């Protein structure tokens, strides 16, 4: 399933079509060329070129100092990167799968997020942590989780989850530029299945800004990741039925774009939040609370959340994975019924 991404910022000298994974790769490559302080570190990023081939060839081009194969130890991958960042480099640390990030939780939440705060600005931590997340690839219990809800709660962290190639490039560049730690989430199911136009040249997208990927009048849908593309499919299907759905791509989980969400909700008066992550305590809860606080008297229906089930992970068997993942049909039904409410 390929969708055409909405045009990103103004094209400079043309655009090229690429997949999400190619957008990650080319952005990383350009960053290594552009800025001496940038280096990539993680498991298998050097000789193997990353398990998704994102850094293939980088070791030869940039050398082992700038593309570092680390020992198999997530806490130190992040911890050492933190030390480098505190000392003035711009490390991009990779956690091979988001499911492996837990040993590094201490370093991310207890150390990186607090570096600027606890030193009152004496030290900063311009660190990017990249990791593929999400399911639908037969990855089973430990290669499919979503982790944004665990981290978006933490002041001091920035969490990004762009869904299209143009957004990936703009936000990854912004993350590398950002003087504070950024967790950059890449939905692995979209790596090769999502293609779009990407403007040439260097650009960034403002961190925190969401994007209306499709305008509509009757229902607002907020989503990100693989679900975003399903939501667009569902919305396009419903256009044919005369139901007009507006789809917002969050792009940034923390900080989150209040303006775009409220503007849309005030227009359509109905809000559906779709995320693959477990429902209880997922980011949909925070969006719901904010909208209830700020736009209660604009709501013509209860806020609805269509989310992953509250079980630890999706199973290996296809029946189990399909039960966990939200289908496009389910989204169509949710949007349709909300519009008719």
Partner 1 sequence: MPTTITMPQLGETVTEGTVAQWLKKPGDSVEKYEAFVEVSTDKVNAEVPAPVSGVIRELIVKEGETVPTGAPIAIIDEVGAAAQTPAPHGSASPSEQVANLAAEANHQASDEPVPGGNVGLSSTTFTAPSLANGNGSAVVANGFVAASAAPGGLRVSPAVRRLAREHRIDLARVHGSGEGGRITANDILAAAKAGPSAGVAATISADNAVYTAPAPPSAPAAPAPSPAGGGRATYAQARPGDLIPLTQARKIIAQRMVESKHTAPHAWTMVEVDVTNVWKWRTCEKDAFERENGVKLTLLPFFVRAAVEALAQFPLMNASFTEEGIRVHAEVNIGLAIAADGNLIVPVIRNADRLSIKGLAIAAGALIDKARRGKLGADDLAAGTFTVNNTGANGSVLSAPILVPGQTGIVTTEAIVKRPVVRDDDAIVVRSMMNVCLSLDHRVVDGAVASGFLSDLKRRLEAMGPSGSL
Partner 2 sequence: MAKTTTARERRELERGDLTDEQLVAMLRNMLLQRQLDNRGFQLNRQGKIPFALGSEGHEGVQAGAAMAFVRGKDVLVPYYRDLGLALGVGMTPYEILSSLFARVTDRSGGRQFPNHYTNHDKGVLSISSIIAGHCTHAVGVAAAFKYRGESGRAVLCTTGEGATSQGEWHESVNYAAVHQLPIVFLVENNEWAISTPQNMQMRVANVADKAPGYGLPSSVCDGFEPIATYKAMREALDRARSGGGPSIVEAKCYRFLSHSTDDDDRTYRSREIIEEQRKMDPVPRFEQLLIDAGVIDAERAKALRQEVLRETNEATDAAEAQAYPTPQSLYDNVVAGDYHPWQEFS
Whether 143 is catalytic: yes
Per-residue binder mask for partner 2 (CB under 8 A), 36-65, x = binder: ---x-------------------------x
Q: Which residues pair with 212 in a beta bridge?
A: 248
Put residue 130 in one of left, alpha, beta given phi > 0 → left and psi -120 to 50 → alpha.
Answer: beta
Find, among 44, 246, 70, 223, the residue nearest to 148 by Cα.
223
Q: How far is the CB of 210 from partner 2 (least distance, A)?
A: 9
Find, among 170, 32, 30, the residue nearest to 41 by Cα.
32
CA distance 300 to 326: 25
At residue 90's C-alpha, the angle toward residues 166 and 55, to 5°, is 55
Does 275 bind partner 2 (CB under 8 A)? Our answer is no
Does 296 bind partner 2 (CB under 8 A)? Our answer is no
CA distance 94 to 86: 18
Does 315 bind partner 2 (CB under 8 A)? Our answer is no
The entry of partner 1, partner 2, none near residue 29 (CB within 5 to 8 angstroms by kind) is none
Contact 222, 213 (CB under 8 A): no
Q: Which residues pair with 221 in a beta bridge?
A: 247, 272
The entry of partner 2, partner 1, none near residue 73 (CB within 5 to 8 angstroms by kind) is partner 2
Q: Name which of 301 and 320 has its Cβ closer to partner 1.
A: 301
Find, among 166, 247, 174, the residue nearest to 208 by Cα.
174
Q: How far is the CB of 126 from partner 2 (least distance, A)?
A: 9
Q: How far is the CB of 227 from partner 2 (least distance, A)?
A: 21
From 143, 187, 229, 275, the catalytic residue: 143
Query: What are the distances in angstroms from CA 329 to CA 92, 144, 185, 240, 255?
Result: 38, 21, 25, 15, 30
Does 341 bind partner 1 (CB under 8 A)? Our answer is yes
Q: Name which of 66 and 267 has its Cβ closer to partner 1.
A: 267
Query: Residue from 300, 322, 329, 333 that binds partner 1 (CB under 8 A)?
Result: 300
Q: Name which of 47 and 292 has its Cβ closer to partner 1.
A: 292
Find, among 274, 258, 277, the residue nearest to 148 by Cα.
277
Query: Residue from 19, 20, 131, 158 that binds partner 2 (CB under 8 A)?
Result: 158
The entry of partner 2, partner 1, none near residue 214 (CB within 5 to 8 angstroms by kind) is none
Query: Residue from 75, 137, 301, 320 that binds partner 1 (CB under 8 A)?
Result: 301
Number of amino acids touching partner 1 (CB under 8 A): 10
Q: Name which of 29 and 209 has its Cβ closer to partner 2.
A: 209
DSSP-assigned letters across all residues of 129-182: EEEEE--SSS-GGGS----HHHHTTSTT-EEE---SHHHHHHHHHHHHH-SS-E
**Would you give the DSSP letter of residue 53?**
S
CA distance 288 to 195: 31
Q: Name which of 209 and 237 has its Cβ closer to partner 2.
A: 209
Radius of gyration of the chain (CA): 20
Per-residue binder mask for partner 2 (CB under 8 A), 105-134, x = binder: -xx--xx--xxxxxxxxxxx----------
Query: Residue from 251, 269, 305, 336 that binds partner 1 (CB under 8 A)?
Result: 269
Please give the residue ranges that form the binding site for partner 2 (CB under 8 A): 39, 65, 68, 70-71, 73, 75-76, 78-89, 91, 103, 106-107, 110-111, 114-124, 152, 155-156, 158, 178-180, 206, 208-209, 254-260, 290
- Catalytic (active-site) positions: 143
Please give the residue ranges that form the binding site for partner 1 (CB under 8 A): 269, 296-301, 337, 340-341
């Amino acid at each position: 399933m390929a969708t055409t991404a909405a045009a990103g910022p103004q094209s400079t000298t043309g655009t090229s079509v690429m997949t999400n994974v190619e957008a990650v790769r080319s952005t990383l490559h350009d960053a290594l060329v552009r800025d001496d302080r940038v280096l990539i570190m993680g498991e298998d990023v050097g000789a193997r070129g990353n398990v998704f081939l994102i850094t293939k060839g980088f070791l030869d081009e940039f050398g082992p100092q700038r593309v570092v194969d680390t020992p198999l130890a997530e806490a130190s991958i992040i911890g050492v990167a933190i030390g480098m960042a505190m000392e003035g480099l711009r490390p991009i640390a990779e956690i091979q799968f988001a499911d492996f990030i837990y040993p590094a939780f201490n370093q991310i939440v207890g150390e990186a997020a607090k570096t600027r705060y606890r030193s009152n600005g004496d030290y900063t931590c311009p660190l990017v942590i990249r990791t593929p997340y999400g399911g639908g690839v037969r990855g089973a219990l430990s290669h499919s989780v979503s982790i944004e809800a665990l981290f978006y709660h933490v002041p001091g962290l920035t969490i990004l989850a762009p869904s299209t190639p143009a957004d990936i490039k703009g936000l990854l560049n912004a993350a590398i530029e950002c003087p504070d730690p950024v967790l950059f989430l890449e939905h692995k199911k979209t790596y090769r299945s999502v293609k779009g136009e990407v403007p040439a040249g260097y650009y960034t997208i403002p961190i925190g800004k969401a994007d209306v990927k499709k305008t509509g009048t009757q229902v607002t849908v907020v989503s990100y990741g693989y679900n975003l593309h399903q939501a667009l499919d569902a919305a396009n299907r419903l256009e044919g039925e005369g139901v007009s759905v507006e789809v917002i791509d969050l792009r940034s989980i923390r900080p989150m774009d209040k303006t775009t969400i409220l503007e849309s909700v005030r227009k359509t008066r109905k809000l559906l939040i779709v995320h693959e992550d477990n429902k209880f305590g997922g980011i949909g809860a925070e969006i719901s609370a904010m909208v209830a606080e700020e736009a209660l008297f604009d709501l013509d229906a209860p806020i609805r959340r269509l989310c992953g089930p509250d079980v630890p992970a999706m199973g290996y068997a296809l029946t189990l994975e399909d039960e966990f993942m939200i289908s496009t049909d389910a989204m169509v039904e949710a949007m349709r019924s909300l519009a008719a409410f």
